[in-house]
Structure 1
Amino acid sequence: MNPMLPELTLSSLDLDRLELLLRSLSASDPSRLALEPELNRATVLEPAAVPDNVVTMNSTIRLRLLKSGEEPCLTLVYPKDLDASGQKVSVLAPVGSAVLGLKEGDRIHWPMPDGDIQQIQVVQVLYQPERSGHLHR
């Protein structure tokens, strides 16, 4: 594993659903090319065993953009669950695939739409389905 990349943890349920989603995309789809390596390097646990500070699918998290200090709250969703609220991010979006499997305190460097590289930190997992007992969502 690349020592510059934080460890990732996924639930087996999320992995199964994400692999099915990836199979629906072409092999050259940029979203697939970004997400597939992340899934391949993750530690996979049964949903009930996922630590409660890990970003899983349908988790609501508070991020910190370290350069600006902004702290947006976002819910990580499957593409079918996106809406116009601006409070949800698809797992197929670059930042979505980047935060999946991270834990509170983890930081990543991420290219922003303007071309700048920004360091992003997972500040808090506000809601996690596994922690709330929603294991078969």
Structure 2
Amino acid sequence: MKYPRIILDKKEYELIKALIHPISESTSLMNSCISRLREELKTAELFTNGADFPQDVIRLNSIVDVNTPFGIMKIQLVLPENSNSEQKRISILTPMGSALIGYAEKDKIMWEFPNGTHEVEILKVSHSQF
């Protein structure tokens, strides 16, 4: 990891906490990803000034190039109501979305997907239009 813990904008942190609060704990893949995200939120570094937020860190609406077991993908990380698989807009509540939020360019992370645990490498992060 480039930074010692995930990095989030304070407003986005509060929004994510509100989104995951009603999701119950269970053994399903989705809930295990949310449980891991809950744990990461406990130690997240929070920024209140957007100008100070590192530009290489994934946040809501970031456009991200990732190397996955399925190949290199370009996705945009969005709120659940804005997700659209055809447009490659991935909800932060999906296994991939919850794996990426708060991580930085060049980070390699191990994450559990429907077909098993795999390494994901963050190749590029941008904050412009998709």
With the length of structure 1 as denominator, give the TM-score of the two structures: 0.77
Match of 1:98 in 2: 99
Mark the runs of 5 or more structure 2 residues left unpaired by the alignment: none
1:87 matches 2:88: yes
Q: Which runs of 5+ in 1 are unaligned?
A: 130-137
**Contact 2:96-2:113 at 8 Å conserved across structures:** no
The alpha carbon displacement at 1:97 in A equals 0.8
The alpha-carbon distance between structure 1 residues 26 and 7, as it changes in their structure 2 partners (threshold 3 A), is closer
Partner of 1:126: 126
Alpha-carbon RMSD: 2.4
Matches within 5 A, 1:8-47: 8-23=6-21, 25-28=22-25, 30=31, 32-46=34-48, 47=50
Q: What SS does the corresponding residue of 1:56 show, helix, strand or coil?
A: coil
Q: Report the number of matched residues.
A: 122
1:64 to 2:67 alignment: yes
Contact 1:35-1:92 at 8 Å conserved across structures: no
C-alpha deviations, 1:20-53, integer Å up to 9, x for none? 2123x24326154232112112101122221000
Q: Scaled by the length of structure 2, what TM-score is found?
A: 0.80
Q: Distance in 1 between matches of 2:56 and 2:20?
A: 25
Equivalent AA in structure 1 for residue 25 of structure 2: S
Structure 1 or 2: larger helix share?
A: 2
The alignment partner of 2:72 has SS state of coil
Distance in 1 between residues matched to 2:83 and 2:63, nearest whole Å: 13
Contact 2:63 2:126 in 1 (8 A): yes
Q: Structure 1 22/103 Cα, relative in aligned 2: closer, same or farther at 3 Å?
A: same
Give the corresponding residue for 1:132: none
